[in-house]
Amino acid sequence: MQPDYYITGIGVSQYYYGAQRLGLPAAEILQRCGMSPDISLQPMHHTAAGDFERFMLELILQSGDDMFGIHVGEQVMPSLYGVLPTIATMAGSAHQAIEAALKYQALVGGNAGAIQLLDEPGEHVAFQGLMAYSNPVIRRHLVESMAVLLFKLATFISGRQDLKAVEIHFQHSPASEASQAYLETLLGCPIRYRAPEIRIVAERSLLDIPLNAYSNDAMQVAEALARKQLAQQQANQCIIQQIKLQVRTLMAGSSPRREIVADRLGISVRTLDRRLADAGLTWQQLLDGLRAQLAREFLREQPLTMQDIASRLGFADARSFQRRFRHWTGMSPSQYRDQLQHD
């Protein structure tokens, strides 16, 4: 997984709250993966795709459910998705709603996944799914989850309970005959497994379905907000990465000070704090998030002692690092390292 792939806090929230609805200790699992709900669930926050994969794998393992992705996809929570449901609901037709939602989909999936509307001749249209996640187990659950979630959201926005695709293509194999039968019944169409690509095929007439809540003025207001958020997200990613780079450079041997980082970036401390706030972060949250990420990386390097890691992360001593690591993950650094060796 390349380090520049990310998912937003909205995307993480779907699986966090979806897992909670299924009775799983999502907060505990998130912390065990070195993340904090206070940071990772902020709508504008970017979680590295690798960290999200670890969270997903822990949820899947904890659930013991080969239909975990399907069951999370059934947990429809439109309020999580900010301005996107408003844009889609206020559109004049399904086609307009789909185009608008796809235009701003990065507000949810970041850059680690996307859906494309393919303009093909004939009576059918196709939606192609793209996904950067490579772990086959995680990929299967994510793909099935998104298929169910999109279906549920489409029926919610259109008010039509009779919507269904012509067929759906998955690249993976079915988890079981029972899961295949359940999914085909739920979505109301056949599913082709082991296909060359992820694809949803639908009748072209689907695009002409009118939406009863149509309001051009409301949609324009919502879309203006979505444009602003998307531009802000892209700008924030650039400045946040620059801040993280400076923090990482300053971290070895001391606790980085935001005054020094601001000076190196040629901005005021007030501007730095505002950029962090725009990304749903405080200085301490950014520092903790980066330290937690680096701590997990350093613990994989067996020659490093706890004192070595504490020094690299800017802690005064190993004991301070160990206390903070337990706060992040619910386990000691030694326990985390032992778990890595066991896995």
Distance CA 183, CA 313 (A): 46
Locate 318 and state its tokens: 């190993």
* pLDDT tens-digit readout, 116-172: 888 777 899 999 998 988 889 999 999 999 999 999 988 888 878 888 999 999 999
Question: Residue 217 above 80 pLDDT?
Answer: no
Note the pLDDT tens digit of each residue in 286-331: 888 888 888 888 888 767 889 889 888 888 889 999 998 988 888 8
Please report, as a single letter, which amino acid is at residue 74.
E
Q: pLDDT at position 297, please?
A: 82
Q: Which helix (H) or strand (E) holds 282?
A: none
Provide the pLDDT for residue 45.
85
DSSP 210: B
Condensed to tens digits (0 to 9), the pLDDT of residues 84-119 reads 888 888 888 888 888 888 888 888 888 888 898 887
Tokens found for residue 93: 């037709």
Residue 8's DSSP bridge partners are 46
Examine the pLDDT at 23 and tell me if it is beyond 80. Answer: yes
What pLDDT was estimated at residue 39?
84
What is the reported pLDDT for 263? 86
From-to residues of CATH 3.90.1520.10 in the chain: 6-208
List every span in the chain annotated with CATH 1.10.10.60: 219-342
CATH 1.10.10.60 holds for 219-342:
yes
Given this model, what pLDDT does residue 237 score?
Answer: 66
Neighbours of 242 (CB within 10 A): 15
Average pLDDT, the chain: 87
Q: What average pLDDT does the segment 220-247 reach? A: 77
- For 66-80, how does the pLDDT look when each residue is reduced to its tens digit (9 = 90+)? 999 999 999 988 888
- Collapsing DSSP to helix, strand or coil, 228 comes out as helix
Superfamily of domain covering 6-208: H-NOX domain (3.90.1520.10)
Tell me what the mean pLDDT of segment 202-216 comes to: 80
Looking at the predicted structure, is the pLDDT value of residue 1 above 60? no
For the chain, the C-alpha Rg in angstroms (whole number) is 22
The pLDDT value recorded for residue 302 is 67
User: Of 42, 62, 65, 88, whose CA–CA distance to 232 is shortest?
Assistant: 42
pTM of the predicted model as reported, rounded to 2 decimal places: 0.72
Contact (CB, 8 A) for 313 and 251: yes
Cα–Cα dist 281/9, whole Å: 11
Write down the pLDDT at residue 214.
61
- Element at 224 (helix H, strand E): helix 216-251
Mean pLDDT along residues 218-246? 77
Distances (CA, A) of 339 to 12, 261, 285, 289, 334: 24, 35, 26, 21, 9
Q: How confident is the model at residue 234 (pLDDT cuts 50, 70, 90)?
A: low
